[in-house]
Structures are given as C-alpha cells and as structure tokens.
Copies of this chain bind each other. A is one copy, B any other.
Amino acid sequence: MRHRQESLAHSAAVARLGSLAPLTGQEIQALQLAELGSQRVSPSREIVVEGAPVRDVSIILSGWACRVRHFMDGRRQILGFLLPGDLIGVCRQNEPVAVTTVFALTEVVTCPAPPVVPGENGLAEAYAMSAALEEAYLFRQIARLGRLNAYERIVDWLLETRDRLRLAGLEYDGSFPMPLTQEVLADTLGLTSVHVNRTLQTLRRDRRIEWRGGMVRLVDPEGLAALIDYRPVLVTSAARS
C-alpha cells in the first residue's frame, strides 16, 4: 500500500482515487492509459459551460478549476473548487446538462475518466466516493457562508483545502500549493478582497498561517481546527489509507 502510493506519487489522480477506494492493478493501468489522452486548458478558460450538454466524464490531472455563478451586476460567487483527482461532468440525468459553469483558475490538465468495468469495482467505488465528497463540500460551503465570520471562514476553508490536497498527495513538508488571488478567495468566501487581505494579515500576525510564493503552511493545524470546531468530512474505512 505504502509502496504503491510512493511509486505513483507523480499522479495526483491515481493517488486520490486510490485513497477513496482500493484499486486493482488493472484499474491503475487504465488510469495511467487514460492520462496519455490528456488535454490542456488555459487559465480563465471555461471547461464546461452552464446549460451546455455534458460530454464525457473527465478527471483533473493538475491545476485548479472552480464552479462559478455570475450575477448580472458583475457580482460573482465561486461555488466550489475542482482539484487534481476530482471528476468533472458526473451527471445523474438522462439528458445531461451542465448545471454550472466550470472555469480554469490555473492551467488545468484533464483526461477522460476510464469507464467502469464489470467485475472490477474499485473505480466505481472511488467515483461514488468522489461524488459523495463533492456533496459534502457543498454542505460545508453553505455552513461556512451562513454562519462563520471572515476569520473563521478563511481558517475553515484552508483546513478543508489542505485535507483535499493531502488526499491527492499534494502536501509537501507541511505546505500546500495555493494559486489563488485574494480576489478569488473573496468570491469564494462571500467577502471583499480588501477584507480578505486584512483578515489574512491578522492570521499571519497571530502566527497561524504562512502564505508566500504560492504556497501556504498552517502553523498548527490541530489548534486551528479546535479553534473553529472544524470537523473533517466523514470518510469511510476505505479512505483512511
């Protein structure tokens, strides 16, 4: 298990899906094969457009994307992020239509998600877990916006994002990549960029976070979690690698 994770550390998608459910060798091969058909999307480009028919399901291999809702007067709200190993385009309808626009925040590389094969149910389970997690993140986002203040929102979001990136093997020595501008973070957390800036300064002054050069380090994650009553998303036994 440990050996497999290390040998595949280059692929966040395999790392994440393999953490969500045990994958067979065939399934890992299928993923690696699919990754050869990768596609590149430039920053600020739309990956999926609201209302457009959904093509196939794809996996994010690298980069950050987000679901976004625009208002007529220029306001916008980022609904959630899509990080490496996440699936795009999972759809429960018969007539699949994208419910939200998905937008590349950085350069994003995707590949088609290998189809589920009867007999090999690791991938199917991983896909199902992925969908369940995505829903859980939506619930968390609602609670965050509805009842936390700016300081708590930022801490809560950082803890959640750290957990998500760790699941994909993207934490390095206690730090994780953070390619967002404060403006984007503001549109995520329902704040203004000015207020995000001031709150981040408070967090730095309190020696709670370090944010430099596109990387973030949480100085005392457990302390932060206790501070704001952060509870990690439920994971089944399969996810405790």
Return A185 CB to nearest CB of chain B, in Å.
12
List A residues 135-180 near B (Cβ within 8 Å): 135-136, 138-139, 141-143, 145-147
Say whether, besides A93-B129, A132-B92, A139 and B234 are in contact (CB < 8 Å): no
Query: Hey, which chain B residues are within 8 Å of A142, CB to CB?
Result: 69, 77, 79-80, 138, 141-142, 145
Q: Which of A10-18, A94-102, A112-120, A208-216 contacts B (4 or more CB under 8 A)?
A: A94-102
Query: Hey, which chain B residues are within 8 Å of A76, CB to CB?
Result: 147
Query: Hey, which chain B residues are within 8 Å of A143, CB to CB?
Result: 69, 71, 77, 79
Number of interface residues of A (CB under 8 A): 44
| Contact, CB under 8 Å: A128 / B237 | no
CA distance A99 to B146 in the complex (A): 18
Asked if A223 is an interface residue, CB under 8 A from chain B, the answer is no
| Contact, CB under 8 Å: B94 / A139 | no
Query: Hey, which chain B residues are within 8 Å of A232, CB to CB?
Result: none
Number of this chain's copies in the assembly equals 2
| Contact, CB under 8 Å: B131 / A92 | yes
Asked if A189 is an interface residue, CB under 8 A from chain B, the answer is yes
- Residue on B with the closest CB to A136? B99
Interface residues in chain A, defined as those with a beta carbon under 8 Å from any beta carbon in chain B: 51, 67, 69, 71-73, 75-80, 91-95, 97, 99-100, 125, 128-129, 131-132, 135-136, 138-139, 141-143, 145-147, 187-190, 229, 234, 236-238
A-B contacts, 21 of them at CB < 8 A, read A69-B142, A71-B147, A72-B229, A73-B229, A75-B147, A78-B146, A91-B132, A92-B128, A92-B132, A93-B128, A93-B132, A95-B237, A97-B236, A99-B135, A99-B136, A138-B142, A141-B142, A145-B145, A145-B146, A146-B187, A146-B190
